[in-house]
Amino acid sequence: MERLQKVIANSGYTSRRKAEELISKGLVKVNGEIIYELGIKVSPNDMIEIDGYILKNENKVYYLLNKPRGIITSTSDDKGRKTVVDLINTNVRIYPVGRLDYDTTGALLLTNDGELANLIMHPKSQIDKVYVAKIKGLIGKNQILKLQNGVLVDGIKTNKAKARILNYDKKSDTSIVELTIHEGRNHQVKKMFNAIGYDVLKLKRERIAFLDVKNMKSGDYRLLNPKEVKKLYNETKNKTC
């Protein structure tokens, strides 16, 4: 027996927080009865219905996508724009783990495994998220140290990070900087550079944990193999426990 919101999240239908909202709004039925109470436990034989959709036990799938620029990180968009889910050919209901901005490219995980998604996004997971940013101007060692030690973003100091200069182009007056963070706050990387006086011209997430997109073209995706999935679970559980 497991809590209803956990079963919904683990099915890949939505996040646990969103599942709790659906229950509170009376949009979830168990064996035909509307459930409002959070924390009610259900068995594998119970029929769960969410706003008319019958929850099914689907095989877990895990995709790594090299997200292109100009794609929405969502399962749907009310403006009719293309989403990351539209790029993947699957009949399984999947959703992105975290998000990348509309104009940000690179590594993005999509899955129907709510448990792993929650572990990766947990504040204590400390999973590496490696970004490469093209910024306007020459960045110095003092600014790199500020990024490493944490800067104020929306009034809250960011955690310690890793940062290094990869290149400076004098002709275009642009710097290429690699930044490794463990958080996932809204527009965090761009805001971190803004906090030290730089605008981000281009941004790509090169790696999540040990998963990178170096040999993948923009828009390409692939299934993770069982060893990779097990390694992700091990890395997240070791840090959140």
**Residues annotated as catalytic (active site), given as ranges:** 101
Query: 65 - beta bridge partners?
Result: 108, 221
For the chain, state the CA radius of gyration: 20
**How buried is 166 (Cβ within 10 angstroms: 0-12 exposed, 13-18 middle, 19+ buried)?**
exposed
At position 88, the amino acid (one-letter code) is: I
Measured CA angle at 19 (ends 100, 33), to 5 deg: 155
**Residue linked to tokens 């947990």:** 122
Exposure of 59 by Cβ count < 10 A (0-12 exposed, 13-18 middle, 19+ buried)?
A: exposed
The token pair at 207 is 């790696």
DSSP code of residue 91: S
Nearest Cα neighbor of 157 from 191, 118, 208 is 191
Q: Rounded to an integer, what distance in angstroms lies between the CA atom of residue 53 and that of residue 2? A: 20
φ and ψ at 233, to 5 degrees? -60, -45
Cβ atoms of residues 116 and 133 within 8 Å? no
Give the separation between CA 203 and CA 133, rounded to whole angstroms.
5
